[in-house]
Amino acid sequence: MADNHNEGSRFLQSVHQYFDNAARYSGLSSGILAQIKVCNSVYKVSFPVEIDGKIEVIEGIRVQHSHHKLPSKGGIRFSMQVDEDEVKALATLMTFKCAVVDVPFGGAKGGVKINPRTSSVKTLEKVTRRYAAELIKKNLIGPGMDVPAPDYGTGSREMAWIADTYQALKYGETNALGCVTGKPVGQGGIRGRAEATGLGVYFGIREALADSELLKGKNLSGNTMQGKRIIVQGLGNVGYNAAYFCQQDGAVIIGIAEREGGIYNADGIDVEDAFKHRSETGSILNYKNCRNIENSAELLETECDILIPAALENQINQENAGRIKAKIVAEGANGPVTKGAEEILLANGIVVIPDLYLNAGGVTVSYFEWLKNLSNVRFGRMGKRAEEASYRRLVNAIESSSGKSLSAQEKAMLTQGADEVSLVRSGLEDTMINAYHEIREIMHQKGISDMRTAAFLTAIEKIGVSYEALGIFP
């Protein structure tokens, strides 16, 4: 635990260093900057839960880093390693991540000290509901207050329990489902959330590939995904979806690194099929036509165009950074590159697309889920059929004026109205494109050479504007 505390403190320190580094470029006063940096509130709670006939005391924490926009937003992790400084660091990053992608929330994060792997479902339900009740008692959760989401050790099941507890204790509140995101679709969740982070990673990389100025001299031809050789670490939610969407757009996935080992094939690996192989055999190893790599960390150092670390933090550190041969390191995970390692990568001319921006697709679609819950209607429900009728009239008019008729398939494609998943994906795409160009714009304006400093700075400036507009109460 002591080790984890030290790690948590180092993590918080490094987030503060990134902040200070970017804040130098802002014109904001030192007082406002200090307020933007600090965690606004930390709530620690201990509560009893009866487990197998015995009373156990469970510790929980909720950190709300910033109230410049409400609600605040951030995941809840279940782990015995939950540490206050680590939760503070993660809450801080959430504030900046939301600001980068214009999600109008402050940042937050929570944790409960419990091992989700060794606890029964019944125990997990009791602990989740009691933790939610503790937050409700103090007004620390609610659609306009603070909206948790899943993180390590929690998922849609826990979010459904939280929503149900909230609804039970706030009976009749119309917007109650907006108290938490990441819920199952049948319980107020949203279609398109599962793949959102990986899809956002794909949109971000695609934008960078189209940016000839950023990639000048990198010998990455064509400005598109076509033929780009990608290695991904972690074939989980983020890694799988990022690799899948890049492959769909013409990239060649040449390596996949997992915890049990890695696989390599210079001619490309079918991501969907390799995922199926891992689910069926329990290992990524021995996938057809691939070379097994026993120590999957070696794949990080293998020659490729784009490396997507999408598993854990600190994977590229001062020890291995000098051996990274990718032209772009695209941070799918949170904190996969340490601060020291980033300096080495940048000095070696490697472009780093920072987590703060690149993996913000998840929180973006969580924002859409919250909007859906507040409006109490599925996106697309009101307009889809009307849109289709109008497209049909247009297609009919074109057919009659041109004298040519389209095939049934062409007609179906042209007259399709937007449903929830297509609206979510288009909102996500727009968000990732806009945020990319804001970061690049600030790099030009302020003469900043790395994307992480620029991403922090865009966030700091947006939050600064909020504080200036709000004024200081009283």
**Which segment (28-36, 215-223, 256-264, 367-375) binds ligand NAD by CB under 6 A?**
256-264
CA pair distance 465, 468, nearest whole angstrom: 5
Per CB under 6 A, the list member of 233, 265, 415, 453 interacting with ligand NAD is 233
Q: Which is nearer to ligand NAD, 261 or 464 (CB)?
A: 261
Count of residues of this chain found to bind ligand NAD when the rule CB under 6 A is applied? 20
CB neighbours of residue 430 within 10 Å:
12
User: Count of CB atoms within 10 A of residue 43's CB?
Assistant: 15
* Residue 237 within binding range of ligand NAD, rule CB under 6 A: yes
- Minimum distance from CB of 117 to ligand NAD (Å)? 12
Report the site for ligand NAD in 123-152 (rule: CB under 6 A).
none
CA 387 distance to own-chain centroid:
31
- Token pair recorded at residue 240: 């799988």
Residues 153 and 77: their CA atoms lie apart, in Å, by 6
**Nearest distance in Å: CB 242, ligand NAD:** 9
Residue 110 neighbours by CB under 8 Å, 6+ apart: 60, 61, 62, 63, 74, 75, 76, 77, 87, 131, 135, 148
The phi and psi torsions of 361 (rounded to 5 degrees) equal: -60, -35
CB nearer to ligand NAD: give 81 or 237: 237
How far apart are CB 265 and ligand NAD at their closest, in Å?
Answer: 17
Q: Is 333 in the site for ligand NAD (CB under 6 A)?
A: yes
- Neighbouring C-alpha atoms within 13 Å toward the C-beta of 175: 14
Q: 239 and 198 in contact (C-beta within 8 Å)?
A: yes
Say whether residue 431 binds ligand NAD (CB under 6 A).
Answer: no
Closest to 62 measured CA to CA, from 163, 145, 181: 145
What single-letter amino acid sits at 301?
Answer: E
Binding residue (CB under 6 A) for ligand NAD from 199, 220, 311, 358? 311
Under the binding rule (CB under 6 A), the answer on residue 107 touching ligand NAD is no
Binding span for ligand NAD by CB under 6 A among 236-244, 377-385, 427-435, 439-447:
236-244
Pattern 271-310, binding to ligand NAD, x per CB under 6 A? -------------------------x-------------x
Question: Site for ligand NAD (CB under 6 A): which residue of 158, 164, 258, 369?
Answer: 258
Q: Which of residues 337-376 bind ligand NAD (CB under 6 A)?
A: 359, 362
Question: Would you state the structure tokens that stand for residue 423, as one six-digit string?
Answer: 């609206």
CA distances (Å), origin 109, targets 56, 140, 159: 24, 12, 14
Are 152 and 130 within 8 A, CB to CB? no
Q: Tell me which residue of 315, 257, 308 sits closest to 283, measured CA to CA.
A: 257
Report the nearest approach of ligand NAD to the CB of residue 229 (Å).
19
In the complex with ligand NAD, the residue whose CB is nearer, 74 or 188, is 74
Question: Which residue, 215 or 451, is less far from ligand NAD as judged by CB?
Answer: 451
Amino acid at site 328: I
95 binds ligand NAD (CB under 6 A): no
Enzyme catalytic residues: 109
Question: Which range in 110-118, 159-167, 229-237, 428-436 contacts ligand NAD by CB under 6 A?
Answer: 229-237
Sheet-wide strand order for 306-309: 291-293, 261-264, 252-258, 229-233, 306-309, 328-330, 351-353
User: Between residues 98 and 443, which has the closer beta carbon with respect to ligand NAD?
Assistant: 98
Task: Please report how close the Cβ of residue 236 comes to ligand NAD at its closest, in angstroms.
Answer: 2
* Least distance to ligand NAD, CB of residue 218, Å: 25
The residue within the footprint of ligand NAD, chosen from 188, 234, 255, 464 (CB under 6 A), is 234
Determine, following the binding rule CB under 6 A, whether residue 235 of this chain makes contact with ligand NAD.
Answer: yes
Sign for the CA dihedral angle at 274, 278, 281, 283 comes to: positive
Nearer to ligand NAD, 60 or 200 (CB): 200
Distance CA 141, CA 43 (A): 12
Name the site residues for ligand NAD (rule: CB under 6 A): 197, 233-239, 257-259, 296, 310-312, 332-334, 359, 362
